[in-house]
Amino acid sequence: MALKKVRVSEAVGMVLGHDITKIVPGEYKGPAFKKGHIVSPEDIPHLLNIGKDHIYLLELGEGQVHENDAAQRIACLVGGENTCFAGPTEGKVNILAKHDGLLKINRDAVIRINSVEYTVLSTLHGNRLVKAREILAGVKVVPLIVDAETIEKVERIAGKYHDIVSVKPLQSLKTAVITTGNEVYYGRIQDKFGPVLAEKIKTYNATFSGLSFQPDDKEKITQNILDCIHAGAAVIVVTGGMSVDPDDVTPDAIRATGAEIITYGTPVLPGAMFMLAYLNNVAILGLPACGMFAKITVFDLVFPRILAGEKLSKQDFAEMGYGGLCMNCKECVYPCCPFGK
């Protein structure tokens, strides 16, 4: 790369080879002049006011890539399903969500790409819900000019992965809720779990298909689950009776359906006594009482992934232990917190 240094007063008519940043402390940081701008006489005072007595015209050598082009090429390698791009601005390209959905990040790929010298790939945490046009990741290179070999290294890494940054749309799956417990079934106390859960299901844009009640009777709970499946439910949430007490029969009732038990117990607090099972393609969730009292629980880590079409494994739950401790903040700001990350 060759740099041609020119005094600002002599730069009229010349083309900038890079963005020039303007910073006003506490007020503004952004491009004052962008790459490709043709300097006019009116620009001279502005350039001087932001401390630019000279500008540099870039003359790229063979096998060299400008930061804007490098960021665009890397972003195209990283951005996957349901993503789009914005920029480059000041050498950075943002990867955005095309649609609402569940953000997926291949963490291993991100680490390997950032191990390439001068490469910057900064992302949000994966497995969180995002909105259309939300920024998911930022891509840039550190110097103004990089060797093409840098981009080629990233290409070789990215070629081993699929959809490094992507968004999975949520399906509006038909979801049924079964509340268990003699105290509710026989009217001794008012059910407060069902309405809370029904509202939460709707916030995820799933289809709430109704609430039913069963006593602490394994056979009746099992039959109710099978009836919900017969009625077309794709997800069934069974609440109550999830502890290891002898009269808590919900886990046994779920097992009696013939479902494959993925996990009973998770390294997530709140949500340690959670159960996930699959009967064919129907997800059956055993939700402990924390779902009624805590705003965010293991349910909020699992349910969106089910709606996104994922079939969770035991390994998925093992990985939830890292970041799985809710800090029980006075004001909940989830997902902008460490929980589930």
The pLDDT tens digits for 223-232 are: 999 999 999 9
**CA 257: distance to chain centroid?**
33
Reported as a single tens digit per residue, the pLDDT across 123-164 is 999 999 999 999 999 999 998 888 999 999 999 999 999 999
The tokens describing 67, both together, are 């930061």
Composition of the chain by helix, strand, coil, percent to 5: 30, 30, 40
- Terminal alpha carbon distance of the chain: 42
> What's the rounded Cα separation, in Å, for the pair 245 and 216?
12
pLDDT tens digit sequence for 7-38: 888 778 766 766 777 766 666 666 677 776 67
CATH architecture of the domain covering 64-168 = Alpha-Beta Complex (3.90)
Q: Are 163 and 176 in contact (CB under 8 A)?
A: no
Instruction: Please name the residues in contact with 5: beta carbons below 8 A apart, sequence gap of 6 or more.
Output: 54, 55, 56
pLDDT in tens, 280-320: 999 999 999 887 778 999 999 999 999 999 999 999 999 99
Q: Where are the domains of the chain?
A: 2-59, 64-168, 174-319
Q: Which CATH superfamily is domain 174-319 in?
A: MoaB/Mog-like domain (3.40.980.10)
- Cα–Cα distance between 158 and 73 in angstroms, integer? 11
**CATH class of this structure's domain 2-59:** alpha beta
